[in-house]
A and B are shown apart, each in its own frame.
Chain A
Amino acid sequence: NAGVTQTPKFRVLKTGQSMTLLCAQDMNHEYMYWYRQDPGMGLRLIHYSVGEGTTAKGEVPDGYNVSRLKKQNFLLGLESAAPSQTSVYFCASSQSSDTQYFGPGTRLTVL
């Protein structure tokens, strides 16, 4: 039982490049989330999903897209990376309104 895993752990991009972050959970949770964490800002919700095939915008969705084609996976895409997207990205999953289980994070730097 691995819990929530994130791929990759680190990535450096140049401005304008694209990439996809993968989140996988093996707890059969309905809800999945993508957050970004920046110093002094806490965690801010980017997008979330309440079930397979559904996605919704969070607090800071601009510049990101997501997909939830399979219940266990939640993908976060950056189509054209910008330096403002330099951050640590966390994925989480939960079963309804309950404890969120977090992945270890992905540290992204955009030059």
Chain B
Amino acid sequence: AQSVTQPDIHITVSEGASLELRCNYSYGATPYLFWYVQSPGQGLQLLLKYFSGDTLVQGIKGFEAEFKRSQSSFNLRKPSVHWSDAAEYFCAVERGNRDDKIIFGKGTRLHILP
């Protein structure tokens, strides 16, 4: 069965510092990969997605993610975080078949120090 692991429950970084959030998946083939962000009291919003092609994907709000097949990873990065980036981030995996579902990781909560 496919699964998604986000090893870090909480991460704290200083404003202006770089960020990397880790995501590993378990699935035999290349799945569809997503990163979503959830601000407090809000629903989830898509940051970026990978279906195929270039393994470095650009998203909204200055985020990017890199798909590494050999490591089964899809880590999210941002070169310089802003206080408004404080939120919970979810990695998600989908096999891409009709009737299939997205599997979400348990999330990483990002805290920003002033």
Interface size class of A (residues with CB under 8 A): 20 to 34
Asked, given contacts A40-B9, A40-B106, A97-B96, whether A45 binds B101 with beta carbons under 8 Å apart, the answer is: yes
CB distance from A24 to the nearest CB of B (A): 14
Majority-rule SS of B interface residues:
loop
* Chain B residues whose CB sits within 8 angstroms of the CB of A100 once the complex forms: 36, 44, 46, 102
Mask, A74-103, CB within 8 Å of B = 1, is 000000000000000010100011111111
Asked, given contacts A40-B9, A41-B106, A42-B105, whether A97 binds B42 with beta carbons under 8 Å apart, the answer is: no
Interface residues in B, total, Cβ within 8 A: 25
The answer on a CB contact under 8 Å between B34 and A99 is yes
Tell which of A44, A48, A102 has the most Cβ of chain B within 10 Å: A102
* Chain A residues whose CB sits within 8 angstroms of the CB of B90 once the complex forms: 42-43
CB distance from B37 to the nearest CB of A (A): 11
Q: Which of A41, A97, A102 contacts B44 (CB 8 A)?
A: A102
Asked, given contacts A45-B101, A56-B99, whether A104 binds B42 with beta carbons under 8 Å apart, the answer is: yes
A-B CB proximity, top 6 nearest: A102-B43, A42-B106, A43-B104, A102-B44, A97-B96, A42-B104
Contacts from B to A (Cβ < 8 Å) = 9, 32, 34, 36, 41-46, 49, 90, 94-102, 104-107
